[in-house]
C-alpha cells in the first residue's frame, strides 16, 4: 500500500515535469484551438475542420521555415568564423599523426632475423589485428615467426 502511493506520487511529479516542459506548446495549442473556434464558430462544421487543418499546416510550415533559417544562419556563422581554425587544427592533427606513424613504422622496419636467437624468420599469415594496423598506418605489414624459438613479430614498411 505504502509502495503504491509512493509510485503514484512519482508518476504525478513526472506528469508535472512534462507539463512544465511543454507548457508553451500546450498554451499555444489551446489558444489556437479556441481562437480558431471563435473566428469560425458561425461556419459549417466541414469548413471549420478545413480551416483548423489549414491553420495547423501553415503554423507548422512557418515553424519549420524558421527552424531551417536558424540552422542555415548558424552554419553560415560557423563557416565565416571557424572554418579556418578547423582547417589549422586538422593540419596540426595530421602532422602529429604522420610523426607518430613514421616512428611506429621505423620501430618495426628492421626485422630480417630473429631478435631473440638470431635464426631465420619465416613469413606467416597475418591476423585481423595486423590487417587493422596495416589499414591504420597505411603501410605494408608482414607477420613473421622464428624457425627455432617462439618469437613472433611484425615488419612494417611504407608503401613505395
Ligand atoms: Zn628465434
Q: Is the dihedral of CA 117, 123, 127, 130 positive or negative?
A: positive
C-alpha 129/C-alpha 108 separation (Å) is 15
pLDDT band (50, 70, 90) for residue 67: confident
Q: Give residue 122 CA to ligand 1 midpoint distance, Å.
A: 10
Query: Could you tell me which of 31, 51, 56 has the C-alpha nearest to residue 41?
Result: 51
Rounded to the nearest angstrom, the gap between the alpha carbon of residue 101 and the centroid of all alpha carbons in its chain is: 26
Q: Tell the burial category of 141 from Cβ atoms under 10 Å away from its Cβ (0-12, 13-18, 19+).
A: buried
pLDDT digits (tens, 9 = 90+) for 79-119: 666 777 778 888 998 888 888 888 888 888 888 899 999 99
Ion ligand 1: residues, CB < 5 A? 114, 116-117, 119, 146, 148-149, 151
Assign residue 127 a region (left: φ > 0; alpha: ψ between -120 and 50; beta: otherwise): beta
pTM for the full model?
Answer: 0.43
Phi/psi of residue 139, each to 5°? Answer: -145, 165
pLDDT digits (tens, 9 = 90+) for 109-134: 888 899 999 999 999 999 999 899 88
pLDDT of residue 17: 63
**Model confidence at 71: pLDDT above 60:** yes
C-alpha 31/C-alpha 48 separation (Å) is 16
pLDDT band (50, 70, 90) for residue 75: confident
Are the C-beta atoms of residues 113 and 133 closer than 8 Å to each other? no
Q: Which segment of 18-32, 70-84, 116-130 scores lowest on mean pLDDT? A: 70-84
Q: Give residue 131 CA to ligand 1 midpoint distance, Å.
A: 23
Cα angle value 118/133/129 (rounded, 5°): 85
pLDDT of residue 137: 86
Higher pLDDT pick, 2 / 60: 60
Amino acid at each position: 500500500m505504502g509502495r503504491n502511493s509512493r509510485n503514484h506520487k512519482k508518476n504525478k511529479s513526472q506528469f508535472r515535469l512534462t507539463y512544465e516542459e511543454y507548457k508553451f506548446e500546450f498554451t499555444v495549442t489551446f489558444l489556437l484551438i479556441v481562437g480558431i473556434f471563435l473566428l469560425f464558430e458561425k461556419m459549417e462544421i466541414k469548413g471549420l475542420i478545413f480551416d483548423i487543418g489549414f491553420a495547423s499546416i501553415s503554423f507548422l510550415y512557418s515553424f519549420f521555415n524558421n527552424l531551417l533559417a536558424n540552422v542555415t544562419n548558424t552554419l553560415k556563422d560557423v563557416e565565416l568564423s571557424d572554418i579556418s581554425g578547423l582547417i589549422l587544427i586538422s593540419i596540426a592533427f595530421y602532422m602529429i599523426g604522420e610523426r607518430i606513424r613514421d616512428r611506429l613504422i621505423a620501430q618495426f622496419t628492421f626485422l630480417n632475423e630473429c631478435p631473440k636467437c638470431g635464426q631465420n624468420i619465416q613469413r606467416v599469415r597475418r591476423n585481423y589485428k595486423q590487417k587493422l594496423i596495416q589499414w591504420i598506418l597505411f603501410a605494408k605489414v608482414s607477420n613473421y615467426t622464428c624457425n627455432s624459438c617462439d618469437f613472433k613479430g611484425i615488419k612494417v614498411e611504407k608503401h613505395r
